[in-house]
Chain A
Amino acid sequence: MELKVLRSFMNHNRSVVVFTLTSTLILLAGSICATVFHLDFLSFKNINLIADVVHEKVAPDAPVVAAVQATSSMSAPVSSMTQMPAVAFDQYMLQKTLVHFNDDTTRPALPMLMEKFQKLKNGDKAKVRIAWLGDSMIEGDLVTQTFRKQLQQIFGGYGVGFVPAQSVTAQYRTTVKHSWNGDWTEETFKDKALTAPLFFSGHTFFTENGTITLTDATSKDSTRILDKYLICGKADGKVSIEVNGQQRDFTANNKINRILLDSSNKAAVSLKINNKKLPVYGMSMEPQRGVVVDNFSFRGITGLELGKIDTTVLQQMSNENDYDLVVMEYGANLMFRPDDKDYSWYEKKMEAVIKQLRKSMPNTEFLIVSTADRAFRYNDVWQSAVGIDSLVKTQAELAFHNNTAFYNMYASMGGANTIVNWAAASPSLANKDYIHPNQRGAEILGKLLSDAFVKEYNKIQTKPAVTAQGPAATQNVRNRK
């Protein structure tokens, strides 16, 4: 016992040295073995003590999608390019450009839209309405609020456009003050059984005693006349609604109804609805002439959900010339597994959805906006998803085969690892989930997009667009490979 006590008081400084050197030597030996024999045993490569001083001799990977400037040569780094109209398809790699896969790049993409912009610029009383469909990337009016503001500044207009009856991000949306009360039920893209058709928003609301109050925050000009519409579905008989405290009766016989509630210089409107059968989608606050951009965000979707929208709803919207342009911005939710590279399953399914949309809305132009950058942690470093080039190309193919314009968001924001740099920037431009640009980042994306639109618009200043019986006539018909 005494010996033990004595031992514990003896100087053990040698133990520190023995322990340190033994552990270091074992780790060093393990590192050398792991390097020489390429062992990944127990994740040894993650703690390799010599990894920083050895040089890997490998051929550098050719970049699959190299974002190219408009002026640079459009070589084809993708192997399947040989089976495609080489130069035209290559356009999808262009940064900051709306492409329409046409050899004649002096002609604008989205010619009908550009022509309508021209009308606005000339002072005609016209309304350009753009539906921007997307996922959580545009939630809270991110991206679209900047895009809308820019276009409204150039071509006129004000107002936030469509606002759903309820939204999870309502309190953070800066373009509109939005509150509601009462008991509501909801049907969405995610529900199997639906009692009413869905609108672009993917949410249908019902209430017996609900109220909604909206205050537009896009313009401080108190003299402008702001029209407020209720967007709702079909209801039998007369529908009674309290608008700003006054009872109003109207009919809602169509599948989609736009009911003018108020046309005044007031920025606010309040509604009280007590009809459980009335499918309520939302409201719209817009000018009598100018640009309207409707934000339709739905968390966690890929775009395939748009196939759930009744074609008769789409046709009615088309007949009433509701939308000049439909933008589809998806992709982040397709990259849910870090190692996915094959999106052919998506291409097949989404192609059917786009065809249905295009067929039902022949007078509307379409634009596919590619995914933005998204990163995963591979081994020990955050990097862009390995499949992102493949996804962008898939989305470009969808656009190419369906006479749809395309915008490469991924390349435009800076290409590989941009989201990693954005999250690390100070102040940051993206969240630490390495998916979502924040308010500051979204502002950059919105500005890039509006600049790309203006670039196309400027083309018709020098060369008028060809207008014919619809957008299909302005673009080459392309066959699938």
Chain B
Amino acid sequence: MQSFDLSLFLKQFLYDPKNPLLFNNGFFVYFFAVFISLYYLLRNNATARTWLFCFFSLYFFYKASGFFVGLVLLSAVIDYGLSNAIYKARTKSTKKLLLITSVVINLGLLFYFKYTNFFIALCNDFLAAKINPLNILLPVGISFYTFENLSYTVDVYRGEFEPEQKFMNYLLFLSFFPKLVMGPIVRAKDFIPQLHKPYEVNQQDFSRGFYLIVSGLFKKLVISDFLTTNFVDFIFSDPSRYTGLECLMAVYGYAIVIYCDFSGYSDVAIGMAKWLGITIPVNFKSPYQSKSVTEFWKRWHISLSSWLQDYLYIPLGGNRKGKVRTYVNLFITMLLGGFWHGASWNFIIWGAMHGIALAMHKLWMSNNKQFIDRQSNKTYYRLMAQFVTFQFVCFCWIFFKAVDFNTATQLIMQITHHFSLSVLGAFWSNYQYVIYMMALGYLLHIIPDDFADKMLQRAHRVPMFAYVGVFLVFVMVYAHFKTGEPVMPIYLQF
């Protein structure tokens, strides 16, 4: 016997730490339906629309992270105030002082919430200190909105644009719910001007948004979650129990998991923004097709790599201070970029390996320019370069995924010392659905970038019921593969 429970119903509106709001919660369906209806009703009143959007975004944040929502509000107030003060300041030194204040506050908050315990552990290990770790929870999305705040005040300081006069617009820029939890990192100069425009969605935007949302959800909720629960997680949690072949496949499995997880979430955010009349630049462009690590970082998490380039690599001197400094700058940028992903040595190692690889690639390019120019258009060279780049990226993922250095080396040891194809038969019979799912993931990944666009150009012939039908089929597929308690997206804690 089932009955409606009012107290359960009311509880749905409160933050539940065990079930934070994500795009795949049932609650989100209602949230979005109510939001979009009101947003449409207020379409002709830009101010009301912004207020509504802010309210829903902050509420989304509350449902995802509890009272940490206050941090977004606080940092919006501080950076809104500081950016306007920077703009109005008359002397360069005052501007600089204000900018430094903004950087210190933003990085201070990020440092406190994300890195305090890491450095306490470091002191305990190296200085034999006996400091107890603090009970600090990481506010969702703090890494993302901290970077957004920083780029904003830096851009104002550089005189690239006038700071936003309306506080609510700035608050919306920071808290915009589609990208709040896992990015992409949005730039104010791209985002805020769009808030002043009327709410317009053309046919292309609608179909493209639909495609991005459904394919993004499919990548995240079906492929990534299936592979995570049914293969990757248990192998990475104790590689010593598995054969070299299983461990190697877990690495390739994780490569597709992290891609589907992260690009899937980005796609949903970009697609949802499209439906709301806002364009966010693409964040992933089939990164595993890259022919070099340099190219990989132009295709992987583009909003982060471009942020690191503009606000870290270039201020460090970029390539303007000689070859050696260029390599050092690349290394430092990637090292810190790695550390941004999480407070552990493994992320630092991951970043360092990418930093070294970027520097080596630059060196290789400058020393073999003629050879590369001659070969780069040849198929064998392209395939070889793609293969080598992909293997390197996968190797680095081992450190990214493993819980500690020891686990990462265990996994590598299993692959190098306990690899035998004699287990192939057993592997196939046990994991064939995992292999199918991995193959599907890689297949989706290799779809050429312009293929989807070409298909979508014909989408004006598609009637509404077909969109609804496709979506319902997706929901049923999702229901079939549903992995139970929501699997936290990997970048959530970043």
A155 interface contact, C-beta 8 A? no
CB pair B480–A52 under 8 Å, yes or no, is: no
A477 interface contact, C-beta 8 A? no
B206 touches which of A15, A52, A136 (Cβ 8 Å) = A15
A21 interface contact, C-beta 8 A? yes
A274 interface contact, C-beta 8 A? no
Binds A, one of B25-33, B358-366, B435-443: B25-33
Q: Whose C-beta in chain B lies nearest to the C-beta of A43?
A: B479
Query: Complex: how many Å from CA A421 to CA B117?
Result: 23
Query: Complex: how many Å from CA A432 to CA B205?
Result: 41
CB pair B234–A432 under 8 Å, yes or no, is: yes
Within 8 A of B (CB), among A277-324: none
Tell me the dominant secondary structure on chain B's binding face: helix
Query: Complex: how many Å from CA A187 to CA B275?
Result: 65
CB pair B4–A53 under 8 Å, yes or no, is: yes
CB pair B202–A43 under 8 Å, yes or no, is: no
CB pair B9–A53 under 8 Å, yes or no, is: yes
Given A17-B37, A433-B234, are A23 and B484 also a contact pair (CB < 8 Å)?
Answer: no
Question: Chain A, 13-42, contact with B by CB distance < 8 Å: what is the 0/1 string?
Answer: 111111111111011000000011000001
Q: Whose C-beta in chain B lies nearest to the C-beta of A382?
A: B484
Tell me the dominant secondary structure on chain A's binding face: helix
CB-CB under 8 A from B5, the residues of chain A are: 53-55
CB pair B277–A433 under 8 Å, yes or no, is: no
CB-CB under 8 A from B12, the residues of chain A are: 52-53
A2 interface contact, C-beta 8 A? no
CB pair B43–A377 under 8 Å, yes or no, is: no
State the Cβ distance, A441 to closest chain B Cβ, in Å. Answer: 11
CB-CB under 8 A from B9, the residues of chain A are: 53
CB pair A12–B210 under 8 Å, yes or no, is: no
Q: Whose C-beta in chain B lies nearest to the C-beta of A38?
A: B2
A438 interface contact, C-beta 8 A? yes
B202 touches which of A12, A54, A436 (Cβ 8 Å) = A12
A side interface size, CB within 8 A: 58
B204 interface contact, C-beta 8 A? yes
CB pair A53–B8 under 8 Å, yes or no, is: yes
CB-CB under 8 A from B209, the residues of chain A are: 16
CB pair A380–B482 under 8 Å, yes or no, is: yes
CB-CB under 8 A from B241, the residues of chain A are: 136, 139, 169, 431, 433, 436
State the Cβ distance, A376 to closest chain B Cβ, in Å. Answer: 11
A183 interface contact, C-beta 8 A? no
Query: Complex: how many Å from CA A10 to CA B483?
Result: 40
CB pair A12–B206 under 8 Å, yes or no, is: yes
Given A11-B200, A11-B202, A54-B5, are A431 and B43 also a contact pair (CB < 8 Å)?
Answer: no
CB pair A49–B40 under 8 Å, yes or no, is: no
A352 interface contact, C-beta 8 A? no
A42 touches which of B238, B417, B479, B485 (Cβ 8 Å) = B479
CB-CB under 8 A from A52, the residues of chain B are: 8, 12, 26-27
CB-CB under 8 A from B237, the residues of chain A are: 423, 428, 431-433, 438
CB-CB under 8 A from A171, the residues of chain B are: 240, 413, 417
CB pair A36–B2 under 8 Å, yes or no, is: yes
CB-CB under 8 A from B471, the residues of chain A are: 19, 23
A220 interface contact, C-beta 8 A? no
Q: Whose C-beta in chain B lies nearest to the C-beta of A428?
A: B237
Given A17-B40, A53-B12, are A9 and B479 also a contact pair (CB < 8 Å)?
Answer: no
Q: Whose C-beta in chain A lies nearest to the C-beta of B8?
A: A53
State the Cβ distance, A294 to closest chain B Cβ, in Å. Answer: 21
Q: Whose C-beta in chain A lies nearest to the C-beta of B198?
A: A11
Binds A, one of B158-166, B315-323, B460-468: B460-468
CB pair A35–B2 under 8 Å, yes or no, is: yes
B410 interface contact, C-beta 8 A? yes
Within 8 A of B (CB), among A192-245: none
CB-CB under 8 A from B484, the residues of chain A are: 377, 379-382
Question: Chain B, 223-240, contact with A by CB distance < 8 Å: what is the 0/1 string?
Answer: 000000100011011101
State the Cβ distance, A209 to closest chain B Cβ, in Å. Answer: 21
Task: Identify 12 new A-B residue pairs, CB closer than 8 A, beyond the known A13-B199, A21-B37, A49-B26.
Answer: A10-B202, A16-B201, A22-B468, A24-B29, A24-B30, A36-B2, A43-B476, A52-B8, A52-B27, A56-B1, A380-B482, A438-B237
26 example contacts (A-B, Cβ-Cβ < 8 A) are as follows A4-B460, A7-B460, A8-B202, A12-B202, A13-B201, A14-B40, A15-B206, A22-B464, A26-B472, A27-B475, A42-B480, A49-B29, A53-B4, A53-B9, A55-B2, A55-B3, A55-B4, A56-B2, A139-B241, A140-B240, A168-B418, A377-B484, A381-B485, A431-B241, A432-B234, A433-B241
